Structure formats: structure tokens, C-alpha cells
């Protein structure tokens, strides 16, 4: 699973919104680190994106990662 | 899913209550990043807003995002 | 759902116990932001307040909010 | 549910172990704030204390509260 | 459940790895505070250590406690 | 389960991406501390890596550990 390419050069972003998008990426890479097969990921996302509880759980992971990214950027103050 | 519009210009708000509302928005955008279809979101919210555990889970995501927003605003001191 | 009234003027409280009560309020407002109907809230609370796991989950949300309130008050030192 | 008595005078404790015990108390008071009936609490604890997942979840709430108490005491350094 | 012995004299450890082991201990003591019977704990651990989701949940509690221990040790810098 | 070898010499890494890989390792060691048998771990990972919710939960543990590692490295600024 070692990613040859550099997908996370830095935690610094230009805006809170870019920071939120990085938090989404971190959450997805967390899933990819356990399951690298695109087919399985697409199949599962199609399924859980239809389920309220699963969507809430996905939002929770983004919230934890956004907390990290926001602190890294001193809340873009 | 890339949002063309700017929905998150800043984490700074005028009051704790506005900060709580921003935390709710962040939680919903986290859900939207996985499921952009309004119909599915409305259908699921109608369902899980009838379920105590699901409501608790939604409140948990808001709590994590509120923690981030409150720190960003130095707790509005 | 926009609350006209001001229910969260400040995160500052006189004591840790008041801070814990504010954390309980924040957790309940998080639920209310998704489900504003009192009947549904009462029905669901009657149900999940009978279930150990659901009670644990509610306590977890209070713990996250209490962490925020305690930091806001510099731990009432 | 408003507790007349003062059960949380301070977050400061003499040792990490006392801090851990306070975290347990905070977790239980979080449950009590939703369900004040001792009978229900005893019945539910008897049940979920037999279940590994429920015990893990209880430990998670204690971990979040211990994080707050430890920070409040500057990690007893 | 009051432990007579001192099992948590300090949060300070010599290395990150010792810190991780302390986080495991904190997680287990959290479980023990709710269920002190060794037989039940062994029975339940045998069961949930066979289940991926339960193992992930146990790792989550360790992660929260490790966050606390790492901060207490200034990340062993 | 006491690991003779040193698997966690430091929390310091050269880049955010290495930090994310360390967070994955911490999450897996958390699982291993409860279940050391490789066969069981492989069997369970094969199973839960097919399940969207379980993958989200694994990503959540990585997010908590990444928060710790990122703070330890001052966000690689």
C-alpha cells in the first residue's frame, strides 16, 4: 500500500474551505489505507451514501481531520 | 463535488451561538461531501431524525466541529 | 430551525458543575438542530434512556462538549 | 434533574489516579443527566457490563473525560 | 471498585512505546471500572478479539488515551 | 503481548505523509495489542475491508492518531 506518489505534501491550505477539502481527502486516504481496491470503495460508497447513520459517521471522521487541519493553519487567522 | 461557491469563508463568528450554527453547517457539509443528492439527504434525515441513537450521533459530530470553531474564536472571550 | 432567542450567550460559567450543565445543554441543542419536534424528542428520549449503550453514547457527546466548555473556562482555575 | 448538591466542586485532583476516578464520575453523571432512575441504571449496567463492545464504549467516554481532567491538572507535572 | 493499590502513579513515561503501553492500560482500566470480574473480562475479550469492528473500537479508545499521554509527555521531544 | 522489539522509537517524522503512515501503524498496533494472532487479523481485515461502515471506523481511528502525530510534529511547519 506504500503510496509512491506524494499525496500529502503539507497541511497548510489557503482557506478554511480548502482545509475542509483536505480533511475530506485525509478521511478517504484513511479508508484507502485499509482497502485499496477502487471497485470495493465505489461499491461501498454507493451503499453507505444511501444510509443516514453511515453518512453521519463519515462526517465525524471529516470533523476530526478538520480539527487537525484547522489547528495546523492557526484557524486561518 | 468540488463546490464552486465559497461556503466557508472563515471560522470566525460574532458569538458562541453563531459558532454553534457554523458547527451544524460544517457537519452537514461533511455529509454532503459524501452524498450530494438533496433527495437522498432529505429522505435519510426524515428517517434518522426519528431515531434517538442517530440524533445522538449527529449531535456528536456537531460537538466535534463546535470544539474546532470555539478554539478558532478563542472561546469568544 | 433558526432559534430567534439567544440560548448560548457565552461559554463562560461560574463553576465546573455549571460548565457540565452547559455541556448537557449543548448536546441537547445539537439533537434539536436536527429534530425540533418536542414530541419526537420526548418519545425518543423515553426509549433510549432505557438503553445502556444509548445512554453511554449520550454521555460521550456531553464529554466532548464538556471538554470544549472546560477549555473555554481555563478549567476554572 | 437539576442536582441540588454540589458534586463537581473542581477538576483539580491530587494524582492521575484520582483524576481517572473523576473521569469515571463525569462519565456516570453524563448518563445520569439523561436517566436519573437508579433502578434503570443498575439494570442497564448489569446488562452492558456483560458485553465487550458496550464496555469498550464506556471506556471511550472515560478516556475523553480523562483527557479533559488531565489537561485541567497540567498532567500532574 | 475503589482500587486500594496505586496503579497510575504518573502519566510520564520514558518513551513513546511505553506511553502507548500506558494508553492500553488506561483503556483496560476504563473497562475494569465498569466490570471488575476477571472471568467476564476474559470471556468478552476472547469474543470481541475475534471481531474486526470490536478490535477497531478498542484501538480507538487506545488512540484517545495515547493522545492524552503523548501531550502529558510533550511528545517525548 | 509485550513487544520485545522497539516499534515506536519516536513520534517525529519527516513529512505529513510519513506522519499519516505512522498514524496507520499506531492504529494497527492498537488492534494488535488486543489480538496478536496474524491469522485472526488477516481474516478480520479481509472481512471488514469489504464493509463501508467498518472502513469509516478504521479511518476514524487513524484520524485520532494523526491528530496526535501532527501535534507532536508542530504540523511540520
Q: What is the pLDDT of residues C14-60, one digit of tens each?
A: 999 999 999 999 999 999 999 999 999 999 989 989 999 999 999 99
Can you list the residues of chain F whose pLDDT is less than 50? Answer: 1
Q: Which residues of C24-44 are buried (b: 16+ CB within 10 A; e: fewer)?
A: bbbbbbbbbbbbeeeebbeeb
pLDDT for D1 beyond 60: no
Q: Which of E48, E62, E77 sits opposite F33 (nearest CB)?
A: E62
Give the per-residue pLDDT at A3: 52
Q: Does B33 touch chain C (CB under 8 A)?
A: no
Residue in D56, D67, D73 to test binding to E, most E beta-carbons within 10 Å: D56
What ipTM was assigned to the predicted interfaces of this complex? 0.95
Q: What is the pLDDT of residues E9-63, one digit of tens each?
A: 999 999 999 999 999 999 999 999 999 999 999 999 899 899 999 999 999 999 9
Distance from CA of B69 to the nearest CA of A (A): 9
Q: Would you give the distance in Å from CA B28 to the centre of its chain?
A: 4
Q: Which of F3, F34, F47 sits opposite E49 (nearest CB)?
A: F34
Work out the angle between the directed axes of helices D52-72 and D16-34 (0-180°, nearest 10): 120
pLDDT for A71 beyond 50: yes
Q: Would you give the distance in Å from CA A4 to the centre of its chain?
A: 19
Give the per-residue pLDDT at D21: 98
| Cα–Cα distance, B71 to D53 (Å, whole number) | 32
Q: Burial level of F2, CB count in 10 A (0-12/13-18/19+)?
A: exposed
pLDDT for A1 beyond 60: no
Residue B72 in contact with residue C68, Cβ under 8 Å? no
Q: In this complex, do D12 and C63 lie within 8 Å of one another by their Cβ atoms? A: no
Secondary structure class of C11 (helix, strand, coil): coil
Q: Enumerate the residues of chain C whose CB falls inside 8 A of the CB of residue B71.
A: 68, 71
Secondary structure class of B37 (helix, strand, coil): coil
Counting every residue written for chain C, the total comes to 77
CB atoms within 10 A of CB E62: 31
Q: Which of C61, C65, C68 sits opposite B56 (nearest CB)?
A: C61
pLDDT-derived band at D48 (thresholds 50, 70, 90) equals: confident
The residue ranges of every structural domain in chain E are: 37-77
Amino acid at each position: 500500500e506504500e503510496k509512491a506518489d506524494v499525496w500529502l505534501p503539507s497541511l497548510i491550505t489557503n482557506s478554511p474551505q480548502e482545509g475542509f477539502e483536505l480533511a475530506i481527502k485525509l478521511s478517504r486516504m484513511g479508508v484507502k489505507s485499509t482497502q485499496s481496491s477502487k471497485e470495493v470503495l465505489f461499491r461501498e460508497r454507493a451503499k453507505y451514501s444511501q444510509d443516514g447513520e453511515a453518512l453521519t459517521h463519515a462526517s465525524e471522521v471529516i470533523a476530526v481531520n478538520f480539527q487537525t487541519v484547522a489547528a495546523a493553519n492557526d484557524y486561518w487567522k
